[in-house]
Amino acid sequence: MRRILILAVLSSLYSYAGNMDGYMQKLYNAAKSSDSNFKGFSAKRGEKIFFSKHMGKRGKIISCASCHTDNIKNMGENIFTGKKIKPLSPKANAKRLTNVKNVKKWLRRNFKDVYKREGTPLEKGDVLTFIANQ
Amino acid sequence: MKKVWIFSTILSITLLQAAQVSPKKLYISECGSCHMAYQPQFLPKRSWLKMMNTLEDHFKTDASLDKDDKKIITSYLVKNSGDSKRVYKEFRKFNSYISKNSTPLRISETYYFKKEHRKIPKRFIYQKEVKSLSNCNACHTKAEKGIYSERTLFIPNYGRWDD
């Protein structure tokens, strides 16, 4: 009885915190449905997305690395406000890529800041794979 | 068995609600991840409403929020805004200078703010430790607690400021 109860509470807490594997699977399915040749996400393509420079929303040429730096195990800094940003790499910051809600929020915001548009499921999956492998 | 499931579901929902963060904490974690979470007392209700409705273009940055978080934060800001009942002393004075016909979005462009900072040399403001006037806690060492008195002031590469 008690075990069932604990299990139920834990499982609901787990789904509340957001399931990252589930999110990656969703991105995978979306990428697959728009391109039947899609074979899986690539850290290499993600790296390119991360480092390529664009005229950002603020009218300045930036890339993701402008704030997150070239080594995502290091602290970053918001180049506009000066606020420090904790390392993006899960290897340096265990909290990264654990909360789907946060991941979605920052992907949405930061793609718009750098690329002036939302990322596609393929791009999001690639860049998350790059981050996870760094 | 069925009863156990119903009971455990109710219990877990209650636990989740209890675990939810307070509106103030949510505001600080969401808005404070890019800049200091300025005290809501600095601006009137109408400013916060406009701010929260234009987050997709927040000073030329995308600061959009998820629907529920936006609702909770907006209500927190409005409840504690400069023209709410909870405002005292310095904040009251600060707000008395904001014209009823204006809807400022930048605290640093309000009259009282400018008046208080007019004597600060530009080299102290634009140095890399401070960056801009939006960075309250670069000099106001207790800004995050809402304390802006002169004795808490410390300007990087200069020191205490005596008016």
The domains of chain A are located at 19-133
Asked whether this complex has an ipTM greater than 0.90, the answer is: no
pTM of the predicted protein model: 0.83
Residues of A whose CB is below 8 A from B12: 8-9, 12-13
- For the residues A69-77, what does the mean pLDDT come to? 97
Give the pLDDT confidence score for residue A2 in this predicted structure: 65
- For the residues A107-127, what does the mean pLDDT come to? 97
pLDDT of residue A14 exceeding 80, the answer is no
- For the residues A45-68, what does the mean pLDDT come to? 97
Is B35 within 8 Å of chain A by CB? yes
Give the pLDDT confidence score for residue B162 in this predicted structure: 79
Residue A35 CA, chain-centre distance (Å), reads: 21
Give the pLDDT confidence score for residue B33 in this predicted structure: 94
Sign for the pseudo-dihedral over CA of B17, B22, B25, B29: positive
Low-confidence stretches of chain B (pLDDT < 70) are: 1-19
Is B138 within 8 Å of chain A by CB? yes
User: Both tokens of residue B34?
Assistant: 């890019």
The chain-wide mean pLDDT, for chain A, equals 91
Structure-token match 């963060």, residue found: B21
Give the pLDDT confidence score for residue B87 in this predicted structure: 85
Asked if B43 and B104 touch (Cβ cutoff 8 Å), the reply is yes
User: Both tokens of residue A131?
Assistant: 């981050």
Per the DSSP assignment, residues forming a β-bridge with B155 are: B159
Residue of chain A with shortest Cα separation from B7? A5
CB contacts under 8 A, A 32-71 vs B, are 57-59
Give the nearest partner residue to A12 out of B7, B16, B64, using CB atoms.
B16
Residue B130 CA, chain-centre distance (Å), reads: 18
User: Both tokens of residue B127?
Assistant: 């140095």
Give the nearest partner residue to B12 out of A12, A57, A78, using CB atoms.
A12
pLDDT band at A9; cut points 50, 70, 90: low
Residues of B whose CB is below 8 A from A4: 4-5, 8
Asked if A7 and A88 touch (Cβ cutoff 8 Å), the reply is no
CATH 1.10.760.10 fits A19-133, yes or no: yes
pLDDT band at A7; cut points 50, 70, 90: low
Asked if B44 and B102 touch (Cβ cutoff 8 Å), the reply is no
